[in-house]
Structure 1
């Protein structure tokens, strides 16, 4: 009898061990797969069961949470949604997250282990911390000035602080209100379909995800490369440049929009944006040095994040001399985001140094305690300091005497470069109007802001004066807002 009882006890013990092993397998080794299963709504219920943390601009909240009283209880809200959409992105119960809502989701949702002093306890209890906050680098006045300046036109504005890389403005138009994607009702699905089907692409962040031919604004890079390589040693000496200029190895003639470009100095060519001079300079500098200078400014960088990813700006390194000449005036395969061109202007303003741009100053707990901060940013030397001094002079001349006079600010030192980028089959598309610039107040010891503006549906008049007439006033308004006491 005792033997049968012992066997039954051993069998029960084996069953108990099997249950424990199975429970461990499910709760430890397969927990993630169950959590990720679309049929499991517990994670969604927990995710939206408490308010998200907020994104802050200038100390004020531009996001919030609304209690719906439903199973997915809290729904995301946005203050001035279209103004900040290129920065915040959206947080949708159906379609996920984008931009800061995505890259900082761990902090905002409360799942980041740094939000609690006892992360292991949260893991054991499956508890969730309250959502933290994301403090941005944006200047509220600059963001508003850029958005107002673009108005109903397609385009984008990026502004940075040259000495630090802090992003002061990031605007894309047309925009949209992220709040229409927050919930899970049928209206959310209709809004998603409408926004994605809109030919004007309001959900496209043109400031960082759209690349454009930079046109004559790229002449900043070409001039810097020519000075660094020693191809130009005197900015006031004749450049031995014919007008028109026959592209090397071809019978194609390149002309200028303005008269009087033949054999002019670099200073004059920069002021009036002579294509022939800069195309010849690019060919004379050569693809190796041109590519190295472009890389120094940030072109061909596939890893830039601010913290969300930025489309790489490109300078083609596998070109012949004719293609190099066109690339050097911002045409052919040369492409740039507005943020990249703001970095170019910022490098000139910052003694030739490029500071890596960033958008998040710090993250905090819901009580305001710092979780992480941006800290010191990497720096890259795009050109020799002496070259940067010359480039500052040239950009100032554009604003005081050349095509960029509409960017002038009384009492401030402003440097700029206009650009008109032709595109489309046979350059038949309406040109993109560009302006890149930097500004320094009379009481400032260094430039405080660098700006890039692109307007897609600008005046059909061709020539760099278009950038000066359409884009420069927008840049001026953004610079004034930053310089204002």
Structure 2
């Protein structure tokens, strides 16, 4: 009997010791990991226990908080003012689906869990502090001008201050109201399913939650000719935008028997200067330029503008704009007119005009100026961004002049603004297998008012009600850029 009791006692003692070891291991070794696990509901409860901080546009919050309509243990949910207008900037914050874009990047500041917000007592107890705010560079006039001008079209637009790098407008349509999916009720779930519904034909899906301005790269078409022109001038292949080039019309792609035609067959594209070739968007000139320079030199220039940068943060991570790494001579020629596998985001093409407008210096684009605590003290500042030289001042000056010719006498006439200096480049990019889809209509530009203030804008229209034959950068995209430039410069 005593032996049985002794054995039972030893087993019980062993189990108690094992339990103590396990508890100690969980608390000391796995505690932080378990506390930070996204499946830990206590984190969610704490995150939504108080009103959030705000994302500020033009001095006013475009976000808010309200008591959750669905009850439960998450007391507050996110609200948005002009949600569809600012969704490409704010992203969304959802009790069920997490947070994206600025809401996601600055989640800890906005919910009060960032250690920089906490007092010594908060750090000791682990409690959340009073949330902070995120101040954006977005100009509400520019944002609204772009949003209303795009209207029912599928597309995007980006406006940037060339000297400061501040993003003044980040527009994507069709858009959505993040308020409709911020909670955890049936209505929120139904709204999410409607937003993410697919009809099985991917190219026709609206994808309203996709930020087309930053997160979608498509063929830039003839707007890419600015990059090739910069490469030719920087390399010394031609010394001036007014020097005639050696460009037969039509130009037969090297290594093939395929002639590359110009859209305007009456245009004076044979041996045209860079100014004339940009004015009339001569394919023969830029395909031959890219071939003569070689893919390596064009790529080097493109990468100075930001192409192939896989970590382009504004601070939202932008999709990579691509210049192909493996091409034969014919494909290199096609890349010179922004086709083959060249892709770009509207942000990237705005950066091309930005650098040209700013004398060849590219200031890092950004849409957050400052992150602050509840008392207005700065936690992070982005008011002194980095910059680098993309081209010489002379090259930039020549390209600005040629871009003015495009607007004043060429294919970009719809961007003209009385009392302002405007330069631009149109583009119409093939879309789909054998160009079966509706072409993309592009326009990238800069404007300067009498006071010397500048803005650079890029617009892409993916789809509209226009007939296929009427799709053009000047017809669809330039008027949108004009309205945004006018709103920026007053």
Q: Matched residues in 1 for 2:184 and 2:234: separation?
A: 57
Measured after TM superposition, the shift of residue 421 of structure 1 is: 0.5
Equivalent in the alignment of 1:129: 129
Measured after TM superposition, the shift of residue 156 of structure 1 is: 0.1
Equivalent in the alignment of 1:200: 206
TM-score of the superposed pair, with normalisation by structure 2:
0.91
Equivalent in the alignment of 1:291: 299
Equivalent in the alignment of 1:242: 248
1:244-263 equivalent positions in 2, closer than 5 A: 244-258=250-264, 259=266, 260-263=268-271
1:6-405 equivalent positions in 2, closer than 5 A: 24-36=24-36, 40-68=40-68, 70-118=72-120, 121-198=121-198, 199-258=205-264, 259=266, 260-405=268-413
Equivalent in the alignment of 2:422: 414
Q: Structure 1 residues 274 and 371, CA, compared in 2 at 3 Å: closer, same or farther?
A: same
Where structure 2 has 5 or more consecutive residues not aligned to the other structure, the ranges are 1-13, 199-204
Q: Matched residues in 1 for 2:63 and 2:422: separation?
A: 35
Mapped contact 2:118–2:128 kept (Cα < 8 A): no
Q: Structure 1 residues 313 and 145, CA, compared in 2 at 3 Å: closer, same or farther?
A: same
Measured after TM superposition, the shift of residue 70 of structure 1 is: 3.9
Q: Matched residues in 2 for 1:74 and 1:133: separation?
A: 17
Q: Matched residues in 2 for 1:21 and 1:81: separation?
A: 51
Measured after TM superposition, the shift of residue 336 of structure 1 is: 0.1
Q: Structure 1 residues 73 and 59, CA, compared in 2 at 3 Å: closer, same or farther?
A: same
Mapped contact 2:228–2:336 kept (Cα < 8 A): yes
Equivalent in the alignment of 2:447: 439
Mapped contact 1:412–1:441 kept (Cα < 8 A): yes
Where structure 1 has 5 or more consecutive residues not aligned to the other structure, the ranges are 1-13
Mapped contact 1:420–1:462 kept (Cα < 8 A): no
* Equivalent residues, number: 467
Measured after TM superposition, the shift of residue 267 of structure 1 is: 1.1
Q: Matched residues in 2 for 1:92 and 1:422: separation?
A: 37
Mapped contact 1:255–1:276 kept (Cα < 8 A): yes
Measured after TM superposition, the shift of residue 79 of structure 1 is: 0.4
Q: Matched residues in 1 for 2:19 and 2:123: separation?
A: 23
Mapped contact 2:357–2:396 kept (Cα < 8 A): yes
> Counterpart of 2:445 in 1: which secondary structure?
strand
Q: Matched residues in 2 for 1:40 and 1:210: separation?
A: 33
Mapped contact 1:159–1:170 kept (Cα < 8 A): yes
Question: Larger deviation: 121-130 or 147-156?
Answer: 121-130
For residues 316-371 of structure 1, give each alpha carbon's deviation from its aligned partner in whole angstroms, at most 9, with x where no partner exists: 13211111110010000100000000000000001111111111110111222211
Measured after TM superposition, the shift of residue 34 of structure 1 is: 3.2
Measured after TM superposition, the shift of residue 123 of structure 1 is: 3.4
Mapped contact 2:195–2:207 kept (Cα < 8 A): yes
Q: Matched residues in 1 for 2:435 and 2:278: separation?
A: 23
Question: Larger deviation: 365-374 or 59-68?
Answer: 365-374
Mapped contact 1:404–1:418 kept (Cα < 8 A): yes
Measured after TM superposition, the shift of residue 32 of structure 1 is: 2.6
Q: Matched residues in 2 for 1:47 and 1:185: separation?
A: 18
Measured after TM superposition, the shift of residue 461 of structure 1 is: 4.7
Measured after TM superposition, the shift of residue 249 of structure 1 is: 0.5
Q: Structure 1 residues 144 and 327, CA, compared in 2 at 3 Å: closer, same or farther?
A: same
Equivalent in the alignment of 2:201: none
Q: Matched residues in 2 for 1:48 and 1:265: separation?
A: 62
Measured after TM superposition, the shift of residue 380 of structure 1 is: 1.9
> Counterpart of 2:212 in 1: which secondary structure?
coil
Equivalent in the alignment of 2:454: 448
Equivalent in the alignment of 2:463: 457
Measured after TM superposition, the shift of residue 377 of structure 1 is: 1.4
Q: Matched residues in 1 for 2:342 and 2:284: separation?
A: 17
> Counterpart of 1:443 in 2: which secondary structure?
coil
Q: Matched residues in 2 for 1:243 and 1:18: separation?
A: 85
Mapped contact 2:241–2:399 kept (Cα < 8 A): no
Mapped contact 2:255–2:330 kept (Cα < 8 A): yes
Q: Matched residues in 2 for 1:238 and 1:375: separation?
A: 43
